[in-house]
Structure 1
Amino acid sequence: MTDSRRMPNGSSTNTEQSETRYLQHDATLVVDEHVSLTLGSDSLVIVESKETHAIALYNALNAELSPAGLTVTYAKPVTKHDVSVTALRYPIVHEQKEDVEAWVSKLLDLAYLDAKRKKKLKVIVNPYGGKGTALHLYQKYAAPVFAAAQCQVDLEVTKHRGHATEIAEKIDINAYDAIVCCSGDGLPYEVFNGLGKKPNAQEALAKVAVAMIPCGSGNAMAWNLCGTGSVSVAALAIAKGYHTPLDLVSITQGNTRTLSFLSQSFGIVADSDLGTDNIRWMGAHRFTYGFLVRLMRRTIYPCDLAVKVEISDKEAIKEHYRTYANMEPLKRTPESIAKLPPGLPQLKYGTVMDKLPDDWAVIPGETMGNFYAGNMAIVSKDTNFFPASVPCDGMMDIVTIDGNTSRAESLKMMLEIADGGFFDMPDVEVRKATAYRLVPREKEGYISVDGEQVPFEAFQVEIHKGLGTVLSKSGHLYETGGPR
């Protein structure tokens, strides 16, 4: 595995190709005349009888000295996409004890850097996730990683829809570092909304991170924060993850207010997702199938749309991304969290029931083909729909595409998403925004919030900078390369 945390811009360092730089003279532990263990800048180098191999420090989970000797536990890559817990054991003589203890302390400092060790995790499993295999996937691939990292785990299986919201609403925020959802993106949506119902909602959302073990069809949260759809690799990323502030958005429909962490869609994306529930057995492919069917029909989704635009020029959006990427990661202190006011933040722009603010831009929506607002970059595997999205800039990314765009151009757009060319296509309108209001003109259809269906009626959205918290691999950026 590579460690994307060690570069300030979130890019990865390949430990196999990088030149190991030794730290100090005491970074080498000689176990016996045939074995030495040396701490490099990003790897543990092991020399045994003239044979040398390295373990990425990111993969090191624990090291401890016991009467039986020194044990180093790590996540060993076993396939291209999976890891398995493995241990190295070496006998130690009594005279070495002090040196070994100092070496172990240094190894763990380098392995975890500023990440919280021995995290206290509330693990919530959706038993229907992963086609009914979520609990099995967690127990077989994630639980051993958490155990090796000495995480304290409290496991609970959901019994009904909305159960995760109830769990999060009642949770003791001082008892856990994070809530880990073994599911698709539906469970994190419930958890954020459960934390948002607490009397001390802002403190709860800032203090307790939300994370995902990917057991659904889209698994966007895991792809964005952990860079993987693998259960074992996501578990490793969570064990090593940094508490990272995340923008959340408030959505109002009538007198109802909910929170969203991922995206809102109206038009062909929502229709292709929610309108294909009858072919859920196809997994992620059902979305592609639904998209192509609707594309061939040249479907349009008329609406009234108004947006509080902050940046509308694509080059300016790219520059904004680069500036953010080079900033120091935002960190909270326990003192700042304790001072947060109770409840959710006040709505700056009111609700969908209020008068439309004068400084919002009215966007023509008579022939809307696709409206997609994103708070994370990746919406599913290989679908980096919002490449300029970052976790905590106080803005959401809005993409609109006219429904009269030719079929050929629409197909090209779909193909260009994976290749990174989608953002720059002329027919793709991209805006950074802080709020918007969308009013469907038809009586029936689909609106998706974080992949969940909400009533087909007018809704208004505004963003709250850093309201939520997640565990991320980099502590700063999503696991993407940003816009080209």
Structure 2
Amino acid sequence: MERGASEPDPSRQRNGVVAALYGEFTDTLNDRVRYSVSLTESALTVQRISSSPGRSKVVFNLTDCIGCRAYRGPDSADVGAYFTAYFYPFKRRWMSAGVARQRVEQCFRVALVQDPLTNLREAERWAHAIRDASVLQAPRRDGVAYTEVRRPCRVMILVNPHSGRGQALQLFTGHVQGMLTEAAVPYTLVITEHQNHAREVVRKADLRQWDALVIMSGDGLLFEVINGLMEREDWQEAIQTPLGILPGGSGNALAASVHHYSQSPPAWNEELLLSCGFMLCKGLVGSMDLVSIHLASRQRLFSFLSLAWGFVADVDIESEKYRHVGAIRFLMGTLVRLATLRVYQGRLAYLPVKEAPKLPKGSIKANHPPPTPQHPSLCSSLSCRLIPNPSPSHKSHHNHNSTNSNHNTITKSSNNAITTKRPETQSDGKAVALVDSLLPGLDQPVPESWTVVREEDFVLVLAIYQSHLAEDLWTVPGAMADDGLIHLFYVTAGISRPALLRLFLAMEKGAHLACGCPHLVYEKVKALRLEPISPQGVITVDGEMVEYGPVQAQIHPGLARLICG
């Protein structure tokens, strides 16, 4: 007979600590093999019981545990019950160096008495205790404030079946679906059918039914979701819905960034998916900055990743033809664009983080008085007409629109500091639109506190607010999702093709800033304006092509919430 613990039910927590628990159980395949099992607030320890003095012991860290379930066996004549705990610890990779999360399950048979229900209750007691302890022991980064997704967590998962190499749905069923079952996370799967489908879904959804929205795709689908949330009348509550990302596209920049923020070893492909799935099951939520972007047509977008013009934007859009090869499409696009390297004429201005910034080479201070700020309103929304037939790709090469709304100031600025108050509502109950307090109208000159770049010939301009631009491009090694910064890079004309290639190769390891390239400039800013002079070109927001022309942007610290670790 197995011996159960005599302690009170450990699911009753005292001051957030799970009480210890001890029991003796048999192996699920061999009743002659017995184990002593002990549970503390931080670990599950399993030791085989034998007459030999050197008994093997295995310690499972509850930080790596996503769930535990109790159940009866398939044989109705079996009086025993079972509980299985699911762990995803870091283990040595097969056939390669480094470590990655790998699935491990630990299962035990409970047969304390001949009564099946008594045994099942004991198995459930253990499963409940392990689940409670694993919730408390989630991997947390020092200095970061987290909240937790409500449990049980009801999740809407939006999958673009055409993203990447068209394998997002297969990756979900093959890797993520089982993890969610192990973690007892109920979910509803929404398969997008056309471009802006996800945008329409979240704009109309009753978000009270969901504790999190999760995107299984590339970065483009999250762009749709964020803008759909910001177009709602209750946007200030809607944008607080925790957002999760599961890499299913070719770029997967946010997924790579979230993995990096968790301080985990580098991971790619299915290892990256497993890492993001693990963080989703753990349910820790942190803040994420969003950037408000204004186009010349007065359209307003919200961005979580990047604003690009020149080389980077060209590669992103031109490599669409290589989408079927997956992430390597960007390398192919880079080599093609290097062969015919272009120079782009334009003007760039930005508000540095420092009050007295050191001016980069070729820059001057704006010498005109600051204008009275004008706050362009949100533009009218797209209609929600459904398209019955799915397109081969959801990648957008068209403009994105937002909703009209009146403005009451909800953001105050002092120099280059941003302080956001809780959004107010109008008399009709509708939320007022978010105001970009640092931005003048696009038809107005920038304030004198901004830096204006004299150089008008660029190879690229990239504003990014996450650590990664793609799975294998570690663009901002020191970035965090909520650091309140736009990380601005630009490369001036005159750089050679080999030097530009060296920069991107160094970016794979985050070493490009140490290359000493005189044509590369990096600034931390709060706002920026880009005015292309070249008559033709490409501007992208989060990898999506937008209207070509003058554009300006401002950071909004911690506006959204991100499931991370």
TM-score (norm 2): 0.69
Letter in structure 2 aligned against 1:109:
D
Structure 1 runs not aligned, ≥5 long: 1-22, 315-335, 474-484
Within a 5 Å distance, the mapping from 1:78-477 to structure 2 comes to 83-84=102-103, 86=105, 88-93=107-112, 104-113=127-136, 115-116=148-149, 117-206=151-240, 208-227=241-260, 228=267, 229-230=269-270, 231-253=273-295, 254-311=297-354, 342-348=431-437, 349-427=439-517, 428-473=520-565
Would the alpha carbon gap of residues 352 and 45 (structure 1) be closer, same or farther in structure 2, given more than 3 Å must change? farther
**Other-structure match for 2:38:** 38
**Other-structure match for 1:331:** none
RMSD of aligned residue pairs (Cα, Å): 3.0
Q: Is the Cα contact below 8 Å between 2:18 and 2:132 reproduced in 1?
A: no
Q: Is the Cα contact below 8 Å between 2:252 and 2:470 reproduced in 1?
A: yes
Moved more, 386-395 or 44-53: 44-53
Distance, in Å, in 2 between the alignment partners of 1:141 and 1:162 is 26
Would the alpha carbon gap of residues 351 and 31 (structure 1) be closer, same or farther in structure 2, given more than 3 Å must change? farther
Letter in structure 2 aligned against 1:222:
A
Given the alignment of the two structures, is residue 53 of structure 1 paired with residue 68 of structure 2, yes or no?
Answer: no
Moved more, 411-420 or 178-187: 411-420
Cα offset, 1:395, TM superposition:
1.6
Percent of residue pairs identical: 26
Cα offset, 1:105, TM superposition:
4.7
Would the alpha carbon gap of residues 101 and 293 (structure 1) be closer, same or farther in structure 2, given more than 3 Å must change? closer
Residue aligned with 1:189, SS: helix
Residue aligned with 1:123, SS: strand
Q: Is the Cα contact below 8 Å between 2:316 and 2:330 reproduced in 1?
A: yes
Would the alpha carbon gap of residues 121 and 354 (structure 1) be closer, same or farther in structure 2, given more than 3 Å must change? farther
Cα offset, 1:298, TM superposition:
4.0
Distance, in Å, in 1 between the alignment partners of 2:59 and 2:358 is 46
Distance, in Å, in 1 between the alignment partners of 2:67 and 2:521 is 48
Larger CA Rg, structure 1 vs 2: 2
Cα offset, 1:436, TM superposition:
0.5
**Other-structure match for 2:20:** 26
Q: Is the Cα contact below 8 Å between 1:42 and 1:56 reproduced in 2?
A: yes
Would the alpha carbon gap of residues 90 and 29 (structure 1) be closer, same or farther in structure 2, given more than 3 Å must change? same
Letter in structure 2 aligned against 1:217:
S
Q: Is the Cα contact below 8 Å between 1:374 and 1:389 reproduced in 2?
A: no
Q: Is the Cα contact below 8 Å between 1:124 and 1:181 reproduced in 2?
A: yes
Would the alpha carbon gap of residues 354 and 112 (structure 1) be closer, same or farther in structure 2, given more than 3 Å must change? farther
Cα offset, 1:102, TM superposition:
6.4
The one-character-per-residue Cα deviations of 1:395-414 (angstroms, maximum 9, x if unpaired) are 21111122212333323212
**Other-structure match for 1:63:** 68
Letter in structure 2 aligned against 1:403:
A
The one-character-per-residue Cα deviations of 1:292-315 (angstroms, maximum 9, x if unpaired) are 33334442111111101114679x
Moved more, 126-135 or 260-269: 126-135
Distance, in Å, in 1 between the alignment partners of 2:433 and 2:81 is 51
Structure 2 runs not aligned, ≥5 long: 1-16, 27-32, 50-54, 73-79, 95-99, 137-146, 261-266, 360-419, 426-430
Would the alpha carbon gap of residues 92 and 379 (structure 1) be closer, same or farther in structure 2, given more than 3 Å must change? farther
Q: Is the Cα contact below 8 Å between 2:83 and 2:124 reproduced in 1?
A: no
Q: Is the Cα contact below 8 Å between 2:245 and 2:254 reproduced in 1?
A: yes
Residue aligned with 1:74, SS: strand
Would the alpha carbon gap of residues 39 and 370 (structure 1) be closer, same or farther in structure 2, given more than 3 Å must change? farther
Moved more, 290-299 or 392-401: 290-299
Q: Is the Cα contact below 8 Å between 1:124 and 1:180 reproduced in 2?
A: yes
Distance, in Å, in 1 between the alignment partners of 2:207 and 2:468 is 29
Residue aligned with 1:412, SS: helix
The one-character-per-residue Cα deviations of 1:19-76 (angstroms, maximum 9, x if unpaired) are xxxx999354433693122346754322124333343423323234556534123145
Letter in structure 1 aligned against 2:503:
M
Say how many residue pairs are matched: 429
The one-character-per-residue Cα deviations of 1:316-371 (angstroms, maximum 9, x if unpaired) are xxxxxxxxxxxxxxxxxxxx999765244212124434442222110234121121
Would the alpha carbon gap of residues 98 and 161 (structure 1) be closer, same or farther in structure 2, given more than 3 Å must change? closer
Residue aligned with 1:276, SS: helix
Distance, in Å, in 2 between the alignment partners of 1:351 and 1:205 is 25
Would the alpha carbon gap of residues 25 and 148 (structure 1) be closer, same or farther in structure 2, given more than 3 Å must change? closer
Q: Which has the higher contact order (CA 8 A, sep 6+)?
A: 1
Moved more, 30-39 or 248-257: 30-39
Distance, in Å, in 2 between the alignment partners of 1:352 and 1:92 is 73
The one-character-per-residue Cα deviations of 1:400-434 (angstroms, maximum 9, x if unpaired) are 12221233332321222123321233333211111
